[in-house]
Amino acid sequence: MKKLLVYAALASMITAGPILAAEADYPSRPIRLVVGYPAGGQTDVLARMVAKNLGDQLGKQVIVENTGGAGGTIGALNVVRSAPDGYTLLMSVEATQTRAKVFYPKVAYDQVASFTLLRKMAKQRAVLVVNSNFPVKTVAELVAYAKARPKELNYGGTLGTTSHIGGTIFDKLYGTQLTFVSYAGGNQPITDLLRETTQVGFFTESTVAEYIKAGSIRALAVLATERSLIFPDLPTIEEAGGKAFDISAWFGVAGPAGLPPAVSQKLMEALNKVSESPEFASQIQVIGGVPIKGSNPQNFAADVAKEVAYWAEWAKENKPD
């Protein structure tokens, strides 16, 4: 028996040796950063900024891999099923990390336990907008107008995204009844706002910035806790006399569950440097992005768990059949 124990211990040491060496040498080859959406979208744009900066910090190329489908869950599942060695990472977003079970109940991963959540990297402000011909100029006027005409005002967007969820939260906060017009995606919700098919919109800042500047869409407030760098004179929803309302979309980096602590630590150190970099902050302004400071695996996991619970409750009232 003693001999067997000795052999087992030696075998364990022999097996652990190469693993520990690989962790110490990490990264020794390029890293994949999986994006669950097609190339060209805003998640993809931000992922490429993260990839370039992370690669510079680690001294190895970080390659963005677009794996679209099923609201980003196919890409997320590919990461979950990959080897937990730090060479396959996920550009984590709310749709796949906190709302996946709401819209895709059969999704084959746990939104917290199946991942090593590293840190949030950035958030993207949203704005409350109306068609420029619509006869309201303040949040208070919009609320009064909507209450006087329940279900008559339309807002357009894509199911499960900020453009959809924003309206449901607005109704909850203000006691209004807006009517949601669902679109498959793309620019059609904004096009129909310009055509006055819809009257109200809850869009990420960068998607409507050019129309606000041109005067074809009127911005009423920033749906975040801080003002916009692009529109510094635009008040936050609270400054405009409304209730606290922050639907800023966030972006983070995660790996499959079980990443070795040494690998996680190297990634965390590199990602922290990226987030704190003035260059990164400047780059993500293009999509209305703001770096998230002070994120770590603990508060990232806690935030995701809270949001999972929130969206489960939200779905009871708002998820279409």
> Does residue 4 belong to any structural domain of this protein?
no
| 3 in a structural domain | no
Q: Is the pLDDT of residue 16 over 60?
A: no
Q: Are residue 113 and residue 152 in the same domain, yes or no?
A: no
Could you give the number of structural domains in the chain? 2
Q: CA separation (Å) from 104 to 59, 133, 159, 302?
A: 37, 38, 12, 22
Q: Are residues 168 and 308 in the same domain?
A: no
Position 207 in a domain: yes
Residue 14 clears pLDDT 60, i.e. is over it:
yes
Instruction: Kindly state whether residue 10 falls inside one of the protein's structural domains.
Output: no
- Whether 22 has a pLDDT exceeding 90, the answer reads no
- pLDDT given at position 8: 56
Percent above pLDDT 70 for the chain? 92
Domain end (from 222, 239, 260): 222
Q: Is the pLDDT of residue 17 over 70?
A: no
* 115 and 260 share one domain: yes
Nearest-CA neighbor of 134 among 233, 217, 241? 217
Question: Residue 56 — φ and ψ, nearest 5°?
Answer: -65, -40
Minimum mean pLDDT range among 22-26, 39-43, 90-94, 172-176:
22-26
Kindly state whether residues 36 and 57 are assigned to the same domain. Answer: yes
> Is the pLDDT confidence value at 6 over 60?
no
- Indicate whether 4 pLDDT > 70: no
Note the pLDDT of residue 68.
85
Phi, psi for residue 296 in degrees, rounded to 5: -150, 170
Band the pLDDT of 13: cuts 50, 70, 90. Answer: low
| Of the residues 222, 237, 260, the one at which a domain ends | 222
| Within-domain flag for 232 | no
Q: Which residues of 278-312 are buried (b: 16+ CB within 10 A; e: fewer)?
A: eebeebbeebbbbbbeebebeebbebbeebbeebe
CATH code of residue 294:
3.40.190.150
Among residues 222, 241, 267, the one where a domain terminates is 222
Bridge-partner residues for 183, per DSSP? 158
- Looking at the fold, whether 183 and 266 belong to one and the same domain comes out as no
Q: Are residues 75 and 163 in the same domain?
A: no
Range of 177-181, 186-190, 311-315 with top mean pLDDT: 177-181
User: In whole numbers, what is the pLDDT of the chain averaged over residues?
Assistant: 91
pLDDT exceeds cutoff 60 at 87: yes
Same-domain status, 294 and 260: yes
Q: What is the mean pLDDT of residues 285-291?
A: 87
**Quick one: 33 and 45 in the same domain?**
yes
Q: What is the pLDDT of residue 40?
A: 85
| Residue 132 domain-assigned (yes or no) | yes
Question: Does 209 share its domain with 273?
Answer: no
**Residues 181, 112: one domain?**
no
pTM of the model: 0.83
Distance CA 111, CA 257 (A): 11
Looking at the structure, tell me whether residues 115 and 130 fall in a common domain. Answer: no
148 with 165, same domain: the answer is yes
Instruction: Judge whether 17 lies within some domain.
Output: no
- Let me know: does 77 contact 108? Beta carbons within 8 Å: yes
Tell me the pLDDT tens digit for each residue of 31-51: 999 999 888 888 999 999 999
- Domain range spanning residue 303? 29-123+249-315
pLDDT at 9 > cutoff 90: no
Q: Is residue 227 part of a domain?
A: no
